[in-house]
Structures are given as structure tokens and as C-alpha cells.
Chain A
Amino acid sequence: MKLKSLIAGLLASATLGVMAAQAADLAIVSGDTGNGLEFLRSQLDRFEAETGNKVTVVPMPSSTTDQFGQYRLWLAAGNSDIDVYQTDVIWAPQLADQFLDLTDAAKDVVGNHFPSIIESQTANGKLVALPAFTDAPALYYRKDLLEKYGKSVPTTWSELAATAKEIQDAERAAGKADMQGFVFQGNAYEGLTCDALEWVKSYGGGQIVEPDGTISINNAQAAAALEMAKSWVGTIAPQGVLAYQEEESRGVWQLGNAVFMRNWPYAFQLGNGDGSAVKGLFDVAPLPMGEGEGARSAATLGGWNIAVSKYSKSPDEAIKLALFLSSVDVQKERALKQSNLPTIVSLYDDADIAAGQPIIPRWKDVFLNAVPRPSAPTKVKYNEVSSLFWSAVHDTLSGNGTAAENLELLEAKLTELKGGDSW
């Protein structure tokens, strides 16, 4: 008994001590890619200077799947070490209970952002996170190579495959043995869900689960899209693309070893950085279209947001940080330095951004037409839906069953997971 009360006393005093010292000591997690962490630090330094708070960055792995597992665990345990989380656009419905409602805090600025993005971060009437930047992928292409072989920028996937093959073979014959036609994200993870959703949607094959909750993935157009992607692996894309995430594909691309790449806008700034083999040699275009009825160019909606943990010991300061990181100033800096797309409408007409990052004003339409992943209709089951989808796609790409077989199986599994009329 004595020992117990002693321990309890010690714990209490330790907690008190920590609380007093942490009054304005905030911690933020970030799994940013490229030089994102460096950028975040530079902004946090500004925040520290303005408010007198101290902010520590806790770096995380860049894979969104890895991050989610860890955050879920921390939040379930009521961990108060992390005050502010950077959250993926798809997490809001899944983690809504663990974050503070920012509706009141953000009521003055919420109108500056695109309504669709605010809506994606609202779950059950609660504003779960404030947008930091949005994302819609691009087709990166090598201007110099297309010019050299007299090709135009492909607008359909089959054009892309033909051009990629021709240039790849010619370059290889000319001594560049490592040249690849096209690199994308083929690893079995959330990124493949994004890539494959674009293929399926561009073929008019729906968006896996429709907004009303219907499972639509088992259709001929979707199968055709996946069969097309399968035909790339080992021909215009290296076999290893099946293990690539964003950074691996950027690695191949930035060494000058790929004609085309599918990636997010962050790679634009990095590709034009010093030491990049493709500096000034590339440009971006919307992703190609599929074929058949309903074919269009499709881009998956990405983006990251700032949420405040409800277990934070200094929620007021944490909310200030969230507001700061989603503010016009920081978003503009982010656009200029990181080529991340702003979520604030007015920044698309900003003269500095138009001059510094011409890709951004051009991208407004692409992202306004972007396809959301089915995280809203599938709610807490989204991760499992996504995992089943990327597994079916990965199996198809690696030759483990045909697209039609795998999609039929996927439909059965999704139906079982849905279990009834609603998710």
C-alpha cells in the first residue's frame, strides 16, 4: 500500500512537472517526402518566433499506411505526446473521434478554402482537420526526349505506351541501358490505390465504391484498365515498379532514367533542383485518358491536413499552430518552395506563384475534377477496402490471376466486408 501510494505520488508529481514545463511545448508529426521536413521546420521557426511556443517535429515514415497504423495506436492509447497531426485526406472519417472540432476556431478562414476540401475534412458535422495543401497527380514527361524523337505529349494511355516503348528502345540501343519508358507507384500500398483508381476511372470504370455506397468495381472497363496497366510491367516499366512508392519512382526519374512518370506535384520542384539530372528538361501534363465509354483523364485527389489531438495538453496553442500551418502565408510559401497545391482559392491567381511555379495555376482544373477515393462512403472500413483493392491490383500486375478474375473476387470480398445495405 505504502509503495503504491509512493509510486502514485511520484507519478503525479512527474506529470505535474511535465505539464508545467510543456505549457507551450508542442509536438507535430510529419511523414513528408523530399525536403518537406526541412520546409516544415522553417515554417515552425517562424511560428516559434511569432508566438513564443516551442514546436518539435517528430519525423515519421513517408508511407501513409505506416503512418496511419502508428497514429491510430497513439490516439487509441490517448497519447498526449503529440499535439498536432498531419493527416491524409482519407483519414478524416476514421479518426474523427480522436481529434478536436475546429469549426469554431476556423470559422473566419474556412471560407477561403475550396469547399470540396473542407467538406472532405468534415465528418458528422465536425471539422476534423484544416487543409495544408491539396494534391492531384501529373504526368511528368521529358521535353527533350519527346522533341528528339518528334513525339507529342500523349493524351491516351495507348499513345503513352507506344511513345514510351519507342523512346525507351531507341535510348537503350543508343547506350542508355537503364532507360525506362514509364514509372509509377506499383507497390502494394495506399499509393497503388491512387494510381489504379486513376486507370479505372479514366476507362469509365467507376470509382471502386460509388458515393452512394454501391460496389461498382467489377466491370469490363475496370478490367480493361488493369489489363492495360499489367501490359506495361516488364515492357515500358521495370519489373521492380511493383515495389515502388513515390520516392523510388522519383529516384529513377530524377536520375534521368525514365521518359514518363506519374507522380504528385512535389516532384516538380525537386526535379528542377540543383543536382537533378532532369533539371529544366521536363514538363507536366494531365494524366492520359482511357478508352471506351466514359473515358476521361482522371486524377486521384490527395492532400494533407492539420488536425489537433483531443489529448493535447495545450489545445489552444495547438489549434493556433494548425491555423498557422493552413494559413495563406504558409500555403503560399509551400507553393513556392515545395510546389504543393494550395487549398486557398485566391492563391491560384497569385502573381508570385504564377511566376515561380507555373504548374500551380494550370493545375486548378485538374484538381477541381479530381476523383476522391471512396473514404467517405466506406467510413471506418476504408483502409480495408483500399487494402483489398490494392491487393487485387497488385496480384493482377504481377500476373497472379487475370484482371477479370481478381475483380470478381474483389467484389465478393467487398460485399462481405460491407455486410448488408450500408457500410
Chain B
Amino acid sequence: MTTDAAVPSTPVVLTRKIESELMKSRVASAMWFLIPMLAALAVVAGWPLLRTIYFSFTNASLTDLYGAEFVGFKNYLSWTTLKSGRTIFSGLLVDPAWWNAVWNTVRFAVVSVSLETVIGMIVALVLNAEFKGRGIVRAAILIPWAIPTIVSAKMWSWMLNDQFGIINDLFLNLGLISQKIAWTASVDTAMTAVLIVDIWKTTPFMALLILAGLQMVPKDVYEAARIDGVHPVKVFFRVTLPLVQPALMVAVIFRLLDAMRIFDLIYVLTPNSSATKTMSVISRENLFDFDKFAYGSAQSTLLFLIIAVMTALYIWLGKVRFDGGDR
């Protein structure tokens, strides 16, 4: 450090000065370009977020938003001591319905993202191979992703319907099941049904991102491996996977963020089943259906914190880099 700074003192200072002037003007112009976006973000994301956090510390109700009074942490946790000396806790942090929703969300996110990653990888590997009509197949595979979630969820809810649904009809005719299954009604299959639809819908997205990563892998590495006679499976784990890993990690985090705030699919398929109720669904219910706007705000705030912490942990533990990886 000391030698670096001491020996070529003048030129460095000179270049630094030039650089810093250049940098200054660059930073200044960059700021101007960024301001519209920052302003838009502040209006559409920052302000609602702050307001939701504010409401979570009040007793606001939807009929009287502006008459809200500050109540501190009461929505999160409060306790009263009864005459008998017993203390009763209430609030979000001790609400079993909320923790059930958190657990549902985490379970949904982990299972759906893992399966989507594996299937997406397989699809991407297939699409990366040279074959006739690859362009058409690539376009076709994107269709589920292009359909709006509400439409695909409604479509699946009819397909999964126990009496008229094509899934039951298909399985019955194939002899896979002996009687019609009520997919979305039964507590045991509700989550499975939601997972099936989500995986169907978002695997293309995963495949596309991985495919982009795969196409960055230099071809000569494979050639070298083939000349050395390395087994294809080994090539995949030793060459392909490490090289697409940066792209994969970014794809996974996108999906994880998306899965943690899942709402539309569940709202259409199984809106009130406690087996699939997620954090977003339960907070919407409190915000609008029940007269508990403040409590729903507290849930939204906690949802935001949980996602923020999970994302930070993921980036930190996974050493994810958003600048295109280390190649």
C-alpha cells in the first residue's frame, strides 16, 4: 500500500485528478438520468411502503383512514394481565393464523422454486441442443409464462374441478385413480394443486434465464472435455453447472421473491383454504374483507421484512453477483 502510493506520486495524482473531474461530471449527469426513476420509485414504492408501516402502528380502519390514532406496537404484540395473574398475549406475533400463513408461504416458495429450477434446467439443456425447429419449440415453451396468471389459474381451476375437470377424466380413463379427486377442495391436495399450476406456469421463465446462461458457456470447453473422454454427467456437474451458476442464482432469487409474495394463483384456486393461505392472501383479507386495516398493514410490514431478510441472507450466503457473474 505505502509503496504504491509513494513511488509514482505525481502521475497518479495527476491522472486521479483528471479522472475525478471526469467522474464528477459523469456522476452528475448520471444523477440527472436517475432522478426520474428515483422519483417514480419513491412515489409508487417508497411512499406506499412508508404509509403501510405507519398504518401498522395505528388503529386505522378502512372506513376511517384519516382518523387513525397511534397505538404503538399493539398490532404486533400486546399483553394484558388478568386478575388471576395470568398474562394473555395478543397481536400478530402470537397469531397462529399468521404463522400458518408464513409456513405455507415458505413451504410453497421452497418446493415450487426447487422443482422449477430442476425442471427449468432440464428444459434449458434440451433447448440448448441443436435440433430442427428449435426456434418454434423455444417460443412454444414460453406460452404458459405469457398467459396472465388469473386466466391460467381460472383455466386450471376448471381443469381440476372434480366433476367436470379434464384432469380427473384423464386419470380415470388411464386407470391412475379409482374415483374423482376434489383437487382444490381437499386439504391434502390443495397445496399440490397450487404447486402444479405454479410450476407449469413459471418453469418457462426459469428455463429461459438458464438458457441465456448456457449460451454464454464457451463451446471449446465441451470440445476439450469430449476429446478427453469425460462422461457427459461429469461434464454437466463439473463444467456446465459451475459456469451457469451465476445466472442460475439470479434466476432463483427472482423466482424466490416472486414466490414469497404469491397471491393471484391462490386467490383464484383456493381462496379460503387454511392449507394454502399465504402471507399476501391473509393480509389482503384483513385489510379489506375484515375491519382490520391496521392489523393487515402490520402483516404487510412483516411480510416485507421477512422477504427483505430472506433476500439479504440469500445474496450474502450465495455470494450472488448482479453484474453478470465472475467471468
- A, B in one complex: yes
The digit string for B290-310, where 1 denotes a CB below 8 A from any CB of A, is 111000000000000000000
Binding-face segment, B61-69, B196-204, B256-264: B61-69
Interface assignment of A10: CB less than 8 Å from any CB of chain B:
no
Give the docked Cα–Cα distance between A70 and B285 (Å): 11
Residues of B within 8 A of A72 (CB): 62, 288-289
Are A242 and B161 touching (Cβ within 8 A)? no
Give the docked Cα–Cα distance between A387 and B286 (Å): 11
Are A68 and B289 touching (Cβ within 8 A)? yes
Q: In chain A between 365 and 423, which residues have their CB closer than 8 angstroms to a CB of chain B?
A: 380-381, 383-384, 387, 390-391, 394-395, 398, 400, 416
Give the docked Cα–Cα distance between A36 and B120 (Å): 44
The digit string for B157-200, where 1 denotes a CB below 8 A from any CB of A, is 00001111000000000000000111011110000000000000
Are B163 and A186 touching (Cβ within 8 A)? no
The digit string for B258-293, where 1 denotes a CB below 8 A from any CB of A, is 000000000000111110000000001100111110
Residues of B within 8 A of A69 (CB): 284-285, 288-289
Are A383 and B290 touching (Cβ within 8 A)? yes
Are B186 and A242 touching (Cβ within 8 A)? yes
Task: With CB as the reference atom, state the residue of chain B lying closest to A397.
Answer: B185
Give the docked Cα–Cα distance between A66 and B271 (Å): 10
Q: Dominant SS at the A interface?
A: helix
Residues of B within 8 A of A391 (CB): 272, 274
| Most B C-beta atoms less than 10 A away, residue of A65, A97, A239, A381 | A239
Residues of A within 8 A of B290 (CB): 381, 383-384, 387
Min CB gap A225→B, angstroms: 21
Residues A178 and B163 in contact in the complex (CB < 8 Å), given A72-B62, A384-B290: yes
Are A251 and B289 touching (Cβ within 8 A)? no
Q: Identify A239's interface contact among B181, B273, B274, B285, CB under 8 A.
A: B181
Give the docked Cα–Cα distance between A125 and B85 (Å): 44
Interface assignment of A252: CB less than 8 Å from any CB of chain B:
yes
Interface assignment of A248: CB less than 8 Å from any CB of chain B:
yes
Are B186 and A398 touching (Cβ within 8 A)? yes
Residues A98 and B63 in contact in the complex (CB < 8 Å), given A69-B288, A383-B289, A398-B186: yes
Residues of B within 8 A of A21 (CB): none
Residues of A within 8 A of B291 (CB): 94, 380-381, 383-384
How many B residues touch the partner, as a band?
A: 20 to 34
Residues of B within 8 A of A66 (CB): 271
Min CB gap A297→B, angstroms: 28
Task: With CB as the reference atom, state the residue of chain A lying closest to B272.
Answer: A188
Are A239 and B182 touching (Cβ within 8 A)? yes
Interface assignment of A189: CB less than 8 Å from any CB of chain B:
yes
Task: With CB as the reference atom, state the residue of chain A lying closest to B187.
Answer: A398
The digit string for A177-195, where 1 denotes a CB below 8 A from any CB of B, is 0100000001111000000
Q: In chain B between 16 and 67, which residues have their CB closer than 8 angstroms to a CB of chain A?
A: 61-63, 65
Are A251 and B164 touching (Cβ within 8 A)? yes
Min CB gap A235→B, angstroms: 13
Are B163 and A240 touching (Cβ within 8 A)? yes
Are A238 and B180 touching (Cβ within 8 A)? yes
Residues of B within 8 A of A63 (CB): 271
The digit string for A238-253, where 1 denotes a CB below 8 A from any CB of B, is 1111111000100110
- The total of Cβ contacts below 8 Å across the A-B interface reads 93
Q: Dominant SS at the B interface?
A: loop
Min CB gap B100→A, angstroms: 11
Residues of B within 8 A of A239 (CB): 162, 180-182, 185-186
Give the docked Cα–Cα distance between A59 and B272 (Å): 22
Are B163 and A251 touching (Cβ within 8 A)? yes
Are A240 and B185 touching (Cβ within 8 A)? yes
Are A240 and B63 touching (Cβ within 8 A)? no
Give the docked Cα–Cα distance between A257 and B180 (Å): 14
Give the docked Cα–Cα distance between A65 and B164 (Å): 24
Are A240 and B62 touching (Cβ within 8 A)? no
Residues of A within 8 A of B271 (CB): 63, 65-66, 188-189
Give the docked Cα–Cα distance between A399 and B65 (Å): 40
Give the docked Cα–Cα distance between A94 and B291 (Å): 9
Are A65 and B289 touching (Cβ within 8 A)? yes
Min CB gap A56→B, angstroms: 22
Give the docked Cα–Cα distance between A2 and B290 (Å): 43
Residues of A within 8 A of B270 (CB): 243
Q: Identify A243's interface contact among B62, B162, B292, CB under 8 A.
A: B162
Task: With CB as the reference atom, state the residue of chain A lying closest to B165.
Answer: A240
Give the docked Cα–Cα distance between A212 and B180 (Å): 45
Q: In chain A between 172 and 219, which residues have their CB closer than 8 angstroms to a CB of chain B?
A: 178, 186-189
Give the docked Cα–Cα distance between A238 and B270 (Å): 17
Give the docked Cα–Cα distance between A243 and B186 (Å): 8
Residues of A within 8 A of B273 (CB): 188, 394
Are B272 and A187 touching (Cβ within 8 A)? yes
Give the docked Cα–Cα distance between A286 and B78 (Å): 49
Min CB gap B289→A, angstroms: 5
Residues of A within 8 A of B162 (CB): 238-240, 243
Are B185 and A76 touching (Cβ within 8 A)? no
Residues of B within 8 A of A (CB): 61-63, 65, 90, 161-164, 180-182, 184-187, 270-274, 284-285, 288-292
A187-B185, A240-B182, A383-B289 given. 15 additional CB < 8 A pairs?
A72-B289, A76-B63, A178-B163, A189-B272, A240-B161, A240-B162, A241-B182, A243-B182, A243-B184, A244-B185, A257-B163, A380-B291, A383-B290, A387-B289, A394-B273
Q: A-B pairs with the 3 shortest C-beta distances?
A: A240-B162, A243-B185, A240-B182
Can you name 18 A-B pairs with beta carbons within 8 Å? A63-B271, A65-B272, A69-B284, A69-B288, A69-B289, A70-B288, A73-B62, A76-B65, A188-B273, A238-B182, A239-B186, A240-B162, A241-B185, A243-B161, A243-B185, A252-B163, A380-B61, A416-B90
